[in-house]
Amino acid sequence: MPELPEVETVARGLSLRMEGKRLKTLDLHRPDLRRPMPTGLKALVEGRVILGIARRAKYVLMHLSDGGTLIVHLGMSGRMLLSDPGVPPTALEKHDHVVFTLEDGTVVRFNDARRFGLLDYAAPGQLADHRVFEGLGPEPLGNEFSGPVLAEALAGKSTPLKAALLDQRVVAGIGNIYACESLYYAGLSPRRIAATVTAARAEKLAQAIRDVLTKAIAAGGSSLRDYVQTSGELGYFQHQWAVYGKEGEPCPGCDCDKAIQRIVQSGRSTFYCAKRQR
């Protein structure tokens, strides 16, 4: 599933081509994705100017000129693909479930083979209270995120640290890949009890999270199976992974003789160095 860096990359790509332009038509080729499309969605958004495109957690937000907001979640396999104005549109593919056409001829196709994605709407003034944002933690790249904030969110949690980082109420947008990578650079074991991460440990982990996410965004995210940028290009951060997917390979940061290990936590693969991470 695309995580924060992939969604941020998509939002930035859409922003360059969609901001300041009027949404001429929104074509819905099925009534639902993960959830039913909002009732009357076409009438709510067609003819509005897209004032800005941003990201919250793993959601793309399209802010419209009447104060409403289109909310897009890529799910597990979603892609947002742009076509240039003036270029004859290609035939729709099987899983092009939503098509945005702008007044200048730009076309954006939301392709989602597994249909775990989401297209929703927040009325003017209601975005903060929308159900998908209830209880979300701070943005890890925002000013509100810090070591003390992270320590407070982890306080009292008896779950393993890796599982706590995947809890979107602790910090928004981090998934399996970037939790593994951040813990590696912070030198913290994914098995460690979350509540033990306080003071200097929490500050080191918060900084590792910021650094890993920033580098991943600069590389266009990580491409595994389905994720591509809005241009159709792959992300490249998978070539910079220190531990994720590297079971049995030498640890890049120490001389341990056990190499990178893989365990399963809450049904997800965790990769780490048992010597470096304590």
Supply angle C-alpha 194, 195, 199, rounded to 5: 105
Q: What SS3 class is residue 106?
A: coil
- Structural domain contains residue 167: yes
pLDDT, tens digit, 9 for 90 and up, residues 93-107: 999 999 999 999 999
CATH number at residue 219: 1.10.8.50
What percentage of the chain reaches a pLDDT higher than 90?
A: 84
Hey, CA dihedral for 264, 265, 271, 274, is it positive or negative? negative
Q: Supply the pTM of this predicted model.
A: 0.93
Is the same domain home to 58 and 153? no
pLDDT (tens digit, 9 = 90+) per residue, 108-157? 999 999 999 999 999 999 999 999 999 999 999 999 999 999 999 999 99
CA 8 to chain centre: 7
**Residue 113 gets which letter from DSSP?**
S
Q: Are residues 41 and 92 in the same domain?
A: yes
Tell me the C-alpha distance between 165 and 151, whole Å.
11
168 vs 232, higher pLDDT? 168
Catalytic residue IDs: 2-3, 58, 268
In terms of residue numbers, what domain contains 91?
A: 4-127
